[in-house]
């Protein structure tokens, strides 16, 4: 499995560098933009008691939280793209037959794919944690978005758990079509929500980050959000396990759909 993991790294090394550069660029930019936007006097007095006064916090903390949230989303998008890319790799019949002929059959290959995604999810958490820690330390603000990136970790697992079996069973071309149908269905649901749902959160663009933070992680957390947050991790862990078991079984059948 380690060999296949290494092969994944070698194959996508270029994409890792690009992803790393994007992450670094965004991180530095958001760090500097917040520093520029913050009142210079406050910047000099950071760490003093004044910075923990309610007025200061109400004015600046929501923006700081929004920046950390957006950075978590950037890390999530980059690592998700890297994870989804690995799905379509290795679509060669000769390679597939060789993998099937090994003592562990296709299990080692599927193991590597699922471990690779898990590692990318952990990488997303580590990056978010580091950004949050350094940001809150540098600007002396009690920023806390841990729950958000933990939630995103499970969302990433769920997305991969849904997408992977289709690609394994029907090959990446058909799998991509099935994925497209899923995403269109999700977009349709979002459209229905935008037409008939509660859109109060979008009333004021400047307050969007603050409202989103409050409804997800803050005091304004509704029962629905709590239930979703409580159920999603267990659902995605179960889905990931089932998806892995199914992928191990379906790999042999999926080889018939490979082009070359």
Partner 1 sequence: MTTEKKQTLYRVILYTLFAYLPTYILIPVFGYAEDDFASKMSMLLISFSPMLANILTRLITREGKTDLRIAVKRGRQTPLCFVLSLLPIVFCTVGVIVSFCVLKNSKMVFDTLHTMLKSDIVNHVGTFAYTAAFCIPLAFIYFGEEFGWRGYLTPKLCELLPKPAAHIVSGMIWGLWHAPMIANGHNFGKDYDFFPWAGYGVMCLFCICMGVFFTTLTERSGSVLPACIAHSLNNNIYSLVLLLLLAADPALMPESQFALASLGIVPMALCALIVGLLLPQKRRLGADAGKTAEAAS
User: CB of 167: closest distance to partner 1 in angstroms?
Assistant: 24
**With respect to partner 1, which residue has the nearer C-beta, 126 or 180?**
126
Contacts by 43-47 with C-beta closer than 8 Å and gap 24+? Answer: 43/139, 46/138, 46/139, 46/140, 47/140
User: CB of 19: closest distance to partner 1 in angstroms?
Assistant: 19
> Which residue among 233, 244, 249, 252 contacts partner 1 (CB under 8 A)?
233
User: Applying CB under 8 A, does 28 fall inside the site for partner 1?
Assistant: no
> Which residue among 56, 95, 129, 257 contacts partner 1 (CB under 8 A)?
129
User: CB of 195: closest distance to partner 1 in angstroms?
Assistant: 28
Residues in region 154-193 near partner 1 by CB under 8 A: 154
| CA gap 225, 215 in Å, rounded | 8
| CA gap 89, 172 in Å, rounded | 8
Angle (CA) 77 244 81, round 5°: 15
Report the candidate in 113, 139, 128 with the shortest Cα–Cα distance to residue 74: 128
User: CB of 230: closest distance to partner 1 in angstroms?
Assistant: 4
User: Applying CB under 8 A, does 223 fall inside the site for partner 1?
Assistant: yes
User: CB of 64: closest distance to partner 1 in angstroms?
Assistant: 14
Report the candidate in 40, 37, 65 with the shortest Cα–Cα distance to residue 141: 65
Burial 90-104 (b: 16+ CB within 10 A, else e): bbeeeebeebeeeee
* Residues making contact with partner 1 (CB under 8 A): 2, 47, 51-52, 121-122, 125-126, 129, 133-134, 136-138, 140, 146-147, 150-151, 153-154, 223, 226-227, 229-231, 233-234, 237
């Amino acid at each position: 499995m380690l060999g296949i993991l290494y092969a994944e790294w070698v194959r996508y090394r270029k994409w890792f560098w690009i992803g790393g550069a994007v992450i670094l660029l965004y991180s530095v930019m958001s760090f500097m933009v917040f520093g520029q936007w913050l009142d210079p006097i406050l910047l000099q007095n950071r760490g003093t008691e004044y910075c923990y006064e309610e007025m200061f916090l109400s004015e600046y903390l929501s923006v700081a939280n929004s920046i950390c949230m957006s950075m978590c989303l950037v890390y999530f998008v980059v690592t998700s793209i890297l994870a989804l890319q690995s799905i379509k790799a290795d679509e060669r019949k000769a390679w597939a037959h060789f993998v099937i002929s090994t003592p562990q059959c296709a299990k080692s290959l599927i193991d590597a794919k699922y471990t690779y995604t898990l590692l990318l999810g952990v990488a997303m958490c580590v990056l978010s944690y580091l950004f949050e820690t350094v940001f809150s330390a540098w600007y002396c603000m009690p920023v806390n978005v841990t729950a958000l990136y933990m939630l995103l970790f499970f969302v990433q697992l769920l997305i991969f758990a849904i997408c992977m079996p289709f690609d394994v069973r029907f090959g990446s071309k058909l799998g991509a079509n099935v994925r497209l149908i899923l995403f269109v269905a999700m977009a349709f649901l979002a459209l229905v929500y935008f037409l008939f749902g509660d859109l109060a959160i979008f009333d004021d663009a400047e307050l969007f980050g603050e409202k989103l933070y409050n409804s997800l992680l803050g005091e304004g957390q509704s029962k629905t959000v709590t239930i979703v947050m409580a159920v999603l991790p267990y659902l995605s862990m179960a889905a990931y396990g089932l998806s892995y078991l199914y992928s191990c079984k379906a790999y042999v059948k999926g080889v018939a759909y490979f082009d070359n």
